[in-house]
Structure 1
Amino acid sequence: MFGRFGGNKTAPVSAGAALPGRNTPIPTARRHHVLGTPLLESVPSGFADCSFGCGCFWGSEKAFWRLPGVHLTSVGYQGGITPNPTYEEVCSGATGHAEVVRVVWDPTVIGFADVLKLFWECHDPTQGMGQGNDRGTQYRSGIYTTSEEQVPMAEASRTAYQQLLSAAGRGEITTDIISGQPFFPAEAYHQQYLAKPGSRPYCSAMPTGQVLGDFPGADYKLPPQVWSHYDWSISHCVLRGDNAPISL
């Protein structure tokens, strides 16, 4: 696959070398397999959205859809050059995209800080172009914001998490924080993959075990018991959890 498209698995592709893509979106699912919400609907009035790259999107999507107050999740491709890429093209390294999870949530129930807390804790943001056994530019860590207000909070959370990692003797965070990048939904079979019959139980995420606390601007809303459903001391812990959203 990599050789066929001529991409680079360890460095972002240049605009001149990227695949041309296509003008029309690739087909995807109509509804969320667990939450039942329309996958391609606009963000409801008063709700917020942001996308997160945490390695393979199969496992990370499940972690996000379980959070109380999350209205919708969908997996796709973001942060690259090629319009409407396919999974095969993204995996080649020749589109520049990362695998991401788009999260839409109700801010009256869950704060952006809660979503960021799950993001930082569910993977190792110091691994550069990869996560666990998955290596390549499509597995890089990233936050793709949709509003000016999200940027300073994302940056403040990154600073706070770096302090925790440094104190634990770990390396530098490589996470991108980027605004204004279009989100391209992935193929239907990738959507909510781990909740579907016959799916392969796979998650590449390698959480560091560090727990994000308070940071400047944090708007935490979820009660502490929510986080008892996640055990980031165990690699791939989302595979051990239920598919159903966590009840308050």
Structure 2
Amino acid sequence: MTVPQPRTWPELRAYILADLARYEGTVRGEEYTPPPTPAAALRLAARHFWTSPGFKFLVHYRTAKFLRGRGLAYRPLFILARLLHGRYFFKYGMDIPLSCNLGPGVYFGHFGNIIISPDAVVHGQCNIAQGVTIGVTRRGTNVGAPTLHENVWIGANAVVVGNVTLAPGTLVAPLSYVTRSTEPDAVLVGVPAQPMNHHGSAGYVLGKRPARLPEAALSRRPHLADAFEPARHAEAPGHQSALE
């Protein structure tokens, strides 16, 4: 399973704006209201580009990933984007290669010692804190890398390894070690991590990203809606709302 990635400039812009929504909404502690004009959106993006290291890294990551393999005409732009991605890869300690699959609306609240396997899949609307490792295992029963679904929150210095799936709304407490798949809205604590309750990540994942791509993009690539549609885990059988 992978997350669809942008193939056109408007799609790349939509993905970056989805990331911007997470940063602005989290700072304000409320739902994100899109800027009324493109100029206002550009000013907001510029502010977070200079004040939010995680957002700056995502801009360089998404741009370099978008330009990779687009032919000789884009080669100079790709080289520049790749150099910038590499610079902040090391400067911010964010070991997130271009082969890693990140959905729209990812939020890195703090930087430093963040490692994500090239084989990992991180869907949109996820929070990943400092010191987190999302790694691969090469032997045993869970060979492979993790998949994180919508609205997953991973606390500082937590580790998630192996071919496991973190269901929508999962919350992983700081310093936990996760080696098993989860149910929706599970709260995991400990080493090895065990489910403590099903209150989920409600109240921790703030700043909802836009729910849809622009209609023009959807008309060309309707499957991109899967990357932007919110996960409907509230309808899952046996699900207990985090608000109950």
Report if TM-score (shorter chain) is over 0.5: no
Given the two structures, how large is their TM-score scaled by the length of structure 2?
Answer: 0.27
Bigger relative CO (Cα 8 Å, ≥ 6 apart):
1
| Greater helix fraction, Structure 1 or Structure 2 | 2
Relative to the length of structure 1, the TM-score reads 0.26
